[in-house]
Each structure stands twice: as structure tokens, then as C-alpha cells.
Chains A and B, each alone.
Chain A
């Protein structure tokens, strides 16, 4: 397949869903770079190492340590445990890969947030369901269904401002 903008072979292929319409984009390396889309075949080596995780140990120990608990990269790699809540930001990449591995690929929290009441939880539950359905629809190229799901998600997000009589019901003091 050729690039949308020139005659060179396309190496990046994307499907963009917008306003219920889906559009396919095919770009060569030069035009993909101009559009700010990374070339999947030229993924930086450090991104690959992230996936390998604790097996890859730097030859020179880094001097970075967490300002809150003093944990170093080497200590976290060795113990498999983070030292405090700040470690998750200080060692963001390592923490991300450790979490991804421990959680069988999951990287995004979709559960309760602090202070959420039952009505918020119901909304969050529905949002989580719609996001998964949208993901399925895109994967299986059901673009009409995907567009409908996106509308439902947008409606759900707008309904956030509408007060709910049940909000906070049953909450402990």
C-alpha cells in the first residue's frame, strides 16, 4: 500500500474514528514522522527493555533515589517492592513495567476512587463497561457500533454534573 501523501510505501496504518465516521490513514516513514506518529519498526531499544523488566540490569548503578523513602532503582529491582507512594512517580517507567507484568497486562485503574459514593461507582462501572465494549468494537472493526458506544460514553461523562439523589447514600461518616 502506498503513502496517502506520496508514492513511497506506507509503513504506518491507522484507523481514526471521529464523529461516527472512520477514516484510514496510511503514511510512509517521512510523512509519519512529520505527523508525529512513531514508526513501529523502529521502537527505541529502551522501550523493549522496559518489557524485559528486572532481567535487564544497568551496568552502572544509577544514583537516583526516592526523596521520600530513599529507595534506589537497584533496591526496587532486587526486592520487587516499591518503597512508598512517591516511588511510583520517581521510578515511573520501572513501576509501570512491574505493574504491567504483575497485573497480566493491565495498566489502568478502573475501580473506585477516594471519596466516591455508590452513584459515582455505578457511573464508573458503566463507563468501564462501555470502554471495554468500545475496545472490542474497534478490534473487530464494527465502526458503527464503536461510534454509538462513543456517544454513550460522552453522554455518561456529561451526566456527571447532574445531581443524583442516591449520591452518598449509605456512606459512612
Chain B
């Protein structure tokens, strides 16, 4: 039987991209001598934002970064930044002086005045947490030469929330787990994650729901281990275990009901290629099945990168951006379906 299974493009398995959509490393830092953001008035927030912006201008940050004042841009643009995971929802929806420094290829961003004065992160395709950490650590070291980070001899780097003290480092990966969802084994992953002190969140991180069978997994503990130990545990122990579990579930699904899986995948690509109106939840769900189909080698005429991009491009902010004007709910359904058909043509 296995000889009949088409082999998907080997590229899909590079950097474990069949399961890991993106990986990320972030560092939280605060300035010594200034109230944390939630205790600061607008004037204090403005002063801190200017201090951090000035420091960033004085050091050599990679990728020709730009400063975006979030109070100066429209809701729609803030929404686009959020949908691209450049800023968090909390940062997009704030009302105090705040900003973000982002590089030209949108892989590294420094949120200023989010929950902490500085939250810097690097994001990469597939499993590259180590690469992300190298990048963001260099930025931290650069900024440290200009800014007095709040540091406590016993507790390490200080943060507003005790869950972020110590290293202030959080590693995360956006995992696509459609097979484990189908087999009902996701609960086991969540239980194991709790035991391993991991947080499992939805597509947009903290407070968000799972969508398209995407789950963001990250370390909960930031104190008591060095950055290297946290990274090693995350990238070399925890994630490979989950990735192998999902792959086993995918193989089991094919063995048990290949026709059923193919039928599901081919129906969903057919709907996506012909629909004229589509809601975001339905679109995420069908794209998730199609992504599974590509990774299993069932669909060989669909580019995995296009599918990955579509998960972002079908979101409301991006649809508005595409049209350049506010959309009615029905116009959003039409524009989303148009976007999907064009990408999958």
C-alpha cells in the first residue's frame, strides 16, 4: 500500500514546515526607574517611547527598520499589523502612546509600550526557533548598551507580570495539527503540554481561539533556566515530540481511510476554487484541510506557500487593505472568495 502513496515535495518537510507554520522568539524588557506601562500616564508613556525610539536609532539594528507610531495610523492599518503577527491584539487596541519598530521584511519587530516597555520578537517560517533567538538576542544586546533594563539579582529581568520575569524569553511555534484534531487526540497533546509547562493558545496567541487547526505552543516558565536550556528543551525535545505525534496521526488516517481523507481534501479545494462568498471561519477550516492534503501528497498542483499566505490574506484587515475602502459584511465575503480563487487558480 505504501508504494501507492504519492510522495509530497521534500521541501515541505524542510524545517518541519509540514507541521510548523512559523516559529518565534521574543524577549520582554522594561526600563529601570520608570513605571511599567499599566501604571504610566500618557506623558510617561510618551517619554518612554521616545527614549526607546532614540536608543534604537543609535544602534545598528538589522533590516532597515522603521518606526510606526500606532496612535497615528488608522484602525485598519493597526488591524493589518496584528493579522501579520507584527503586533499583538492588546498593542493594536491600546489607547496610550505606543509604537512598533519593524524591519523591511517584517520578520523582526519591537513593540514599544505593550504590556512591557519593550517586547522584541523575530518570526521565521518553519522550525527555526534557534535562528529567531540569535536575531532577537542580538537586538537585546544592542539596545542594552543604550537603555537601562530593569534587572534584579535574584529574579533576573523584571516585567509587569511575574510570569515574564527571569530571562523574559518566550519561544513559540504555530503548529498545524489537523490530523490530531480529526483523531480526537488533541486533548492528549494539551494535557502533555500542561505537564511540560507549556501554554497552548489559538491562532493569534493569548486570548484567541484556535482557528484552522492552528495552535500556538510556548514555554510558560521564563525563570530558573538559562535561555539556552529553555531553547534546547523547546526545539529539541518538546516540538519534535508533537511533530512526530501529528505525523503519526496523519499516516494512520491515510492507512485507515485514504479515500475518506482524499474526498475531504478534494471537496474543500473544489469549494475554495469556485466559491463566490465565503466566511472567514469556513475559509480557515477548508484551507486547513487543503494544507493537510498538500502535505500528504494528495494535491500536487497547490503551492504550500500560497496556502500559508492565504491564512493571513483572508483576514478582515487585509481584505479592507486590498480594496482600499471599508467593506460591508457581504463585500468582505465576496472579496475573500475572490482572493482565494485568484491564489488557487
Contacts and interface: CB of A to CB of B under 8 A. Distances in A.
Interface in B1-60: 30, 32-36, 38-39, 59-60
8 contacts: A69-B35, A69-B36, A83-B38, A85-B158, A95-B155, A103-B224, A104-B221, A114-B149
Interface string B159-199: 11111011101000000000000000000000000000100
Contact of A114 (B151, B154, B160, B225): B151
A84 B36 contact: yes
B165 A81 contact: no
B229 interface: yes
Contacts of A172: 59-60, 138, 141-142, 145
A106 B150 CA distance: 19
Given A69-B35, A88-B155, 19 more contacts: A70-B39, A81-B36, A81-B160, A82-B161, A83-B36, A84-B34, A85-B150, A95-B155, A102-B161, A103-B162, A103-B221, A103-B223, A104-B220, A104-B221, A111-B227, A112-B226, A112-B227, A173-B142, A173-B145
The bracket for how many chain A residues form the interface is 35 or more
B222 interface: yes
Interface string A48-85: 00000000000000000000111100000001111111
Interface of A: 68-71, 79-85, 88-89, 95, 98-99, 101-115, 121, 124-125, 128, 171-173
Contacts of B169: 111
Contacts, number: 127
Given A112-B167, A173-B59, A125 B228 contact: yes
Contact of B158 (A82, A107, A171): A82
Contacts of A89: 152
Contact of B154 (A71, A105, A108, A171): A108
A82 B158 CA distance: 9
Interface in B257-308: none
A109 B166 contact: yes
A96 B229 CA distance: 23
Contacts of A69: 35-36, 39
A85 B30 contact: yes
Interface of B: 30, 32-36, 38-39, 59-60, 138, 141-142, 144-145, 149-163, 165-167, 169, 197, 220-229
Please give me the 4 A-B residue pairs with the lowest Cβ-Cβ distance, nearest first: A106-B224, A109-B156, A85-B150, A69-B35
B38 A109 contact: no
B140 to A, nearest CB: 9
Contacts of B144: 114-115
Contacts of A84: 33-36, 39, 150
A128 B226 CA distance: 8
Contacts of A83: 35-36, 38-39, 160
B152 A85 contact: yes
A107 B223 CA distance: 7
B179 to A, nearest CB: 30
A121 B162 CA distance: 24
Given A84-B39, A85-B152, A125-B229, A99 B165 contact: yes
